[in-house]
Chains A and B, each alone.
Chain A
Amino acid sequence: MALLFRKKKEDEVHKGDLLVTDGIYLKPAVMRNGNIILNCFLRALIVFFLVLGSIGGFLSAFGISYNYLMVIVIYLILSMYFSFLYASSRFIYRDFGYIIFFALFVGAIYLLRIYANSGFYTIVNEVMEQAKTFFNLAGVREYEVQIDNSFLTVSIVACFIGLVMIIVLNIWMYSIMSMFWTVLFTFPLLFIPIYMKLSPDPMYIAFMMVGYLAVLIFKANGHYVVFAWDTPLKVRGIRKKRVSYTQDSVIFRQIIISLSLLSMCVVFLAGSIMNPTSFERKFKSERLWNKTSDAIGNFILLGFSSFFNMYPSTGGMSSGRLGGISNVRPDYMTDLQVSFVPHGNEGIYLKGFTGGIYGDNQWESLYSKDDMGKNDQAVFEEESLKKEAEILRDDHGKYSAKGRMIVQNIGADTAYLYYPYYTLFDDYTIFNNRNLLASTQGIGYGQDAEYTYYPKIEWEEKSINKIPKDIDISKVDKVFLDVPEKNIEVIKNICNEIGLNDSMTEREIVDAVTLFFEENYPYTLKPGRTPDKEDFVNYFLTSNKKGYCAHFASSAVLIFRQMGIPARYVEGYAFSMEQVFASEEADWLDPDDYYEGYSALGDAPVMQVEVSDAEAHAWVEIYVDGLGWTNIEVTPGSNEVTEEDDFWSAFAEIFQGRLGGNDNNGDGTANALGQLAMGRFAGIIYIIIVLGVVVLLVAFIRIIMRKARRYRLCNQKNMRDALIARYADICDMIRLCDENFDSLRSHKEQLVYMNERYEAKMDVDRIKEMLERMSFHDEYLEDSRNEELAGLIAFIRKQIIKKASLKTKLKLWGR
């Protein structure tokens, strides 16, 4: 007993000391301040290297220059600030430190918001520019930069982004020195230039290498974490005692210097062995890029929605279906390649779908579902303007001309032919545009269609100057004058609003409608979805009052019909002469093979035009007495220059919104609430979800690993050690249930507590003696006593779980 008393007294006196052997204790030493400061500085240096390597590498890969001195100084200051803050001995310093930082951060954000905004857009523009070249994208957009001084603005945004990385990395560095998280936080940024085959400056690669290797070394050798409250001698291990001496910043410094020298040598060596160009040549396969460049290109343009590239979110043909989409997202990929000789300044319209009957928010063609195709030829002949083409072929006076156009389908809907106006087909029994039954009769992917057309170069204006009631409509199907019942009232009201009357000529009506739309109905690719049970045209004309080509064309058709002008809805592709002139000149093709006759442009070469889905269009054909069906453009021009809809824009808008940047609405709500449609944040939400899942997964794996380690300890062969581990385990469990348990230092106090709280009904003194014999004297108990103790511990364990609240049970499970 005297021995036990002495032991107990010693335990009290030497609380926190390491018992080396009976009577010999290792006292905790005091950490030297100089060592803490140096250690913090060196740790900050690792974070600094990693962040500068990552962000600087990214910027250098894209050739974006910034103020090196400013960025380096700020990164160093921030790294050190957070490193010292994290290692600080008093939590109050930490709290105040973070509050001060937060106040400064908010102030900096407020003062520098325009600079940060501009810097961010400058970077995005540079990336998009590179992406445009790399992915051969036609339609990347450039963001307006408010401050042109990119040297300064990029530096500022680099500091803000670096700040976030520094905070996060600093935490990981101090807590687990994890290579996984270090790479995860620093390397993905470099994937963007890597994918585009751009290399950062070697200096930044060296920085990253120093950072990664330093993390590897300190992870592999123990953390050497130095907090101000730490002791330089840390005791690790239960069975085999191990004391680690952590107080040595010199070794930290020597390692970093060694790594820096080594990294510089490696970069120099690798650079002298192989430069990026010769390295690239070693790889013959471009399979990855071939397979993924389209998807990545789309991703750059559209964000995550590009992965769900269904009809409603894309451009291209809609086959007369209306209203099911909230916005049009062209992917700017080539749909058609058109080779022809331009002959005038007017845009080119390639007809695809022709809608005659309106109802249920869609246009239907005149191809009948019931006649087994008997009338298909007649419908197609009318739809393709055969008669008009024949007239032009036979007699167009001095403007007679004949053109040849080759249209290759690259990505357009294969249900249709895409032919220019006044095309004469060789065989009208073969071709038709009946998409319902014979979709395969369109142009298949990769296939060419060759058309002969007879351009109408000069209009006889008098023909269109008839008032509608004078039009001879006997040659036109009556269906082209039908206005559905539910639209009549709205259409009439609109006609009145426009000021249309029966005395107006076709030209006047067309002009009035076009002007009315232009003045009152803005063009947008994001009109929003037509609500269920609402009519597409009525909703557009009366409620929404904004839309894209299908809205204008559909409404105009019904207005024209209401006014007595036969009209129909057409979908296809339209492109301007500006686009033609900006296209590639097919100098290997002979223009004479493609065009003959009058041309307003004189001798023009054959042009090869890449027509993307952004050129997909809907327009109107009206019947003009004497001229037949004529295409009319009623869609106003787009004013959408700043309203962006891709991932980068959404991301940029968030950034802008947070910084209180541009306010498109002028009422202060644009970025705060007005445009916060969920769809816009889909990408961010996906990222958050993915990150959440990753975090959960990692947490789960960590829990499992901890459990496995605990299981191994508690079930080891050495029963004495196993029992000690089990007892420690139930003590840990109780600590989670009741913080006060921590204050019970002796075995006896703990056992009494267990007896009372968990109704263990044990002989406290006996069990205490057994525990102390095992713990302090390395004694082995008899098997029967081992079993008794094991049973008791198991019982208490069950009781702990049983008596724990749900919240505590979760804590117990997750420990």
Chain B
Amino acid sequence: MKRIRNIIRYIVIILLDIFVMVVFHSYINFILLVGLVLFPIYSLVGVSRARDKVSVKIETPIEPMVKGEEFEVRFVLSNDSWFPLVNVNLNLELSNAFYGNSGNHVLNVPVRAKKETEVTYPIVMEYCGRFHIEISEMTFVDVLGIREIRRDVNESSECLIFPNGPERNKEAGQIYLRGVTEALESKEKGYDFSDVSGIREYIPGDKLQNIHWKLSVKKDELMVKERVNLSAMQLNVLVDLANDEDMCAEAVLELADSITKAFVLQNLPFTVHYYSSNIGKIRGCYIGNEIERCNWMEMVLYDKCYNGDIGMEDAFLTENQGGGSYLYIGKINGQVIEEDAVFGDKMTGAVLKQQV
């Protein structure tokens, strides 16, 4: 519509110019007419030339960000042609891959000739997850706004947004002691209570929990963390990433973040289990320090939340039949006895449970 309006406006101007030129024999209008005729050629040639010479790059923060914190996404458009473009439209898709929601909009950017144009997008994520931004198409509009040329592009970038759980060191310490005691009392299991000593390529037979997922994604091959056993003491933490319309997964992640952070701060090793939608089964991950905790969080955020009760607790119990207690972090729907609900509210919380 706008293009048609621009074309009509331009034609009207040309006609008016011709009218004045012919009626008044106006030399000024003759020169203007030459300009008005040549300029669309310049404009159209310019957009065609620039189309193939413009490239776009998206830059997001390399380090994970914290939810609610502003971070910048930079679009760097470089134009190797001599033609500046006032309107280049980038069809953007911004999504949170963890929750699977996305939105599209158009970013309209002028592109400098023979230079880089940098546009900074200040973004705030209200939910943690994996922020993904993708440009699927670029539309180049000539400077007169009368022609649009499209070009498919496949440029994307992403950034992890970590939860920002409040400090719960005291409560976490207490629950840890209680949990571990209960666990030892019930049954000792040969858990892998160890520290990371190095990174190497995956060898068949390696524990799945030792796979360094983020590095594997980057290197395009499975990498595993080599561990040194430190202790046999451990606590199992089961994180249920089930989501609902009230975004309970967000609260669960936040709670899990608080608790695990507190464990790590107090040097309390534990194993965290969650259901991975990507591989379709429970995944366990030993955490002994902050790096491992961050890796685990990255692993979770590279995954997806799921809707409704998928029986992940049962699956966990089936896989871990050693008995003892475990810390369940998830949706409790107010059905838990008050003293069991260690943290959280009535809907989501961390509850120490005993394996039957």
Please pick, from B107, B108, B144, the residue contacting A217 in the complex, using a CB distance under 8 A.
Answer: B144
- What's the least CB distance linking A82 to chain B, in Å? 24
Q: Is the CB of A205 within 8 A of B31?
A: yes
Q: Which residues of B contact A270 (CB under 8 A)?
A: 30-31, 34-35
Give the interface SS of chain A, mostly helix, strand, loop or mixed. helix
Which residues B229-268 have CB closer than 8 A to chain A?
245-247
- What's the least CB distance linking A189 to chain B, in Å? 11
Q: Which residues of A contact B26 (CB under 8 A)?
A: 194
Q: Is A670 an interface residue (CB 8 A)?
A: no
**Complex: chain B residue closest to A21, CB-CB:** B103
**Complex: chain A residue closest to B117, CB-CB:** A248
| Stretch of A239-247, A514-522, A588-596, A640-648 on the interface side | A239-247
| Bound-complex Cα distance A17 to B68 (A) | 13
| Bound-complex Cα distance A255 to B101 (A) | 40
| Stretch of A84-92, A273-281, A404-412, A526-534 on the interface side | A273-281
Q: Is the CB of B28 within 8 A of A221?
A: no
Q: Is the CB of B124 within 8 A of A22?
A: no
Q: Is the CB of A195 within 8 A of B24?
A: yes
Contact with B along A228-249 (1 / 0, CB 8 A): 0000010000001111110010
Please pick, from B32, B106, B112, the residue contacting A209 in the complex, using a CB distance under 8 A.
Answer: B32
Choose among B38, B86, B104, B117 the residue with the greatest number of A CB atoms under 10 Å from its CB: B86
Q: Is the CB of B31 within 8 A of A220?
A: no
Q: Is B109 an interface residue (CB 8 A)?
A: yes
| Stretch of B51-59, B91-99, B328-336 on the interface side | B91-99
| Stretch of B125-133, B150-158, B197-205 on the interface side | B125-133
Please pick, from A26, A222, A269, the residue contacting B121 in the complex, using a CB distance under 8 A.
Answer: A26
Contacts A199-B28, A279-B25 known; A23 to B101 CB distance under 8 Å? yes
Q: Is B119 an interface residue (CB 8 A)?
A: yes
| Stretch of A152-160, A260-268, A351-359 on the interface side | A260-268
Please pick, from B10, B34, B103, B141, the residue contacting A20 in the complex, using a CB distance under 8 A.
Answer: B103
Q: Is B228 an interface residue (CB 8 A)?
A: no
Q: Is the CB of B86 within 8 A of A221?
A: yes
Which residues B17-49 have CB closer than 8 A to chain A?
20, 22-32, 34-35, 38-39, 42
| Bound-complex Cα distance A48 to B104 (A) | 41
Q: Which residues of B contact A18 (CB under 8 A)?
A: 105
| Bound-complex Cα distance A244 to B107 (A) | 6
Contacts A2-B246, A213-B35, A254-B84 known; A21 to B95 CB distance under 8 Å? yes
Q: Which residues of B contact A258 (CB under 8 A)?
A: 42, 83-84, 113
**Complex: chain B residue closest to A254, CB-CB:** B84
Q: Which residues of A contact B34 (CB under 8 A)?
A: 266, 269-270, 273
Q: Is B310 an interface residue (CB 8 A)?
A: no
Q: Is B216 an interface residue (CB 8 A)?
A: no
**Complex: chain A residue closest to B42, CB-CB:** A262
- What's the least CB distance linking A236 to chain B, in Å? 8
Which residues A19-38 have CB closer than 8 A to chain B?
19-29
**Complex: chain A residue closest to B84, CB-CB:** A254
Q: Is A759 an interface residue (CB 8 A)?
A: no
| Bound-complex Cα distance A217 to B101 (A) | 38
Number of A-B contacts (CB under 8 A): 185
- What's the least CB distance linking B328 to chain A, in Å? 21
Q: Is the CB of A250 within 8 A of B115?
A: yes
Q: Is A190 an interface residue (CB 8 A)?
A: yes
Q: Is the CB of B124 within 8 A of A14?
A: yes
Q: Is A395 an interface residue (CB 8 A)?
A: no
Q: Is the CB of B122 within 8 A of A212?
A: no
Q: Is the CB of B42 within 8 A of A222?
A: no
Q: Is the CB of B31 within 8 A of A267?
A: yes
**Complex: chain A residue closest to B107, CB-CB:** A243
| Bound-complex Cα distance A191 to B26 (A) | 9
| Bound-complex Cα distance A717 to B136 (A) | 29
Q: Is A10 an interface residue (CB 8 A)?
A: yes
**Complex: chain A residue closest to B141, CB-CB:** A221
Q: Is B143 an interface residue (CB 8 A)?
A: yes
Q: Is A6 an interface residue (CB 8 A)?
A: yes
Q: Is A810 an interface residue (CB 8 A)?
A: no
Q: Is A161 an interface residue (CB 8 A)?
A: no
| Bound-complex Cα distance A212 to B94 (A) | 39
Q: Is the CB of A179 within 8 A of B39?
A: no
Choose among B39, B106, B246 the residue with the greatest number of A CB atoms under 10 Å from its CB: B39
Q: Is A81 an interface residue (CB 8 A)?
A: no
Q: Is the CB of B23 within 8 A of A280?
A: no
Q: Is the CB of A220 within 8 A of B125?
A: no
Q: Which residues of B contact A197 (CB under 8 A)?
A: 25
Q: Which residues of B contact A28 (CB under 8 A)?
A: 122
Contacts A3-B246, A205-B31, A248-B117 known; A23 to B108 CB distance under 8 Å? no
Q: Is B146 an interface residue (CB 8 A)?
A: yes
Q: Is the CB of B87 within 8 A of A216?
A: no
Q: Is the CB of A288 within 8 A of B24?
A: yes
Q: Is the CB of A222 within 8 A of B124?
A: no
Q: Is A283 an interface residue (CB 8 A)?
A: yes
Q: Is A714 an interface residue (CB 8 A)?
A: no
- What's the least CB distance linking B80 to chain A, in Å? 14
Q: Is the CB of A22 within 8 A of B101?
A: yes
Contacts A21-B95, A266-B38 known; A221 to B120 CB distance under 8 Å? no
Q: Is the CB of A23 within 8 A of B127?
A: yes
Q: Is the CB of A244 within 8 A of B108?
A: yes
- What's the least CB distance linking A581 to chain B, in Å? 37
Q: Is the CB of A218 within 8 A of B86?
A: yes
Q: Is the CB of B87 within 8 A of A222?
A: yes
Please pick, from A29, A194, A199, A262, the residue contacting B38 in the complex, using a CB distance under 8 A.
Answer: A262
| Bound-complex Cα distance A404 to B76 (A) | 93
Q: Is B111 an interface residue (CB 8 A)?
A: yes
Q: Which residues of B contact A280 (CB under 8 A)?
A: 25, 27
Please pick, from B10, B32, B105, the residue contacting A243 in the complex, using a CB distance under 8 A.
Answer: B105
Q: Is the CB of B25 within 8 A of A21?
A: no
| Bound-complex Cα distance A202 to B34 (A) | 13
What are 11 residue pairs bridging A and B, where the CB atoms are less than 8 Å apart in the complex?
A21-B95, A21-B102, A23-B99, A25-B125, A27-B123, A221-B141, A224-B86, A233-B121, A242-B108, A251-B86, A279-B30
Sample of 5 more A-B contacts, CB < 8 Å, known A222-B86, A224-B86? A23-B129, A194-B29, A216-B10, A240-B106, A248-B110
7 shortest A-B CB distances, which residue pairs? A21-B103, A220-B145, A241-B105, A251-B110, A27-B122, A23-B127, A221-B86
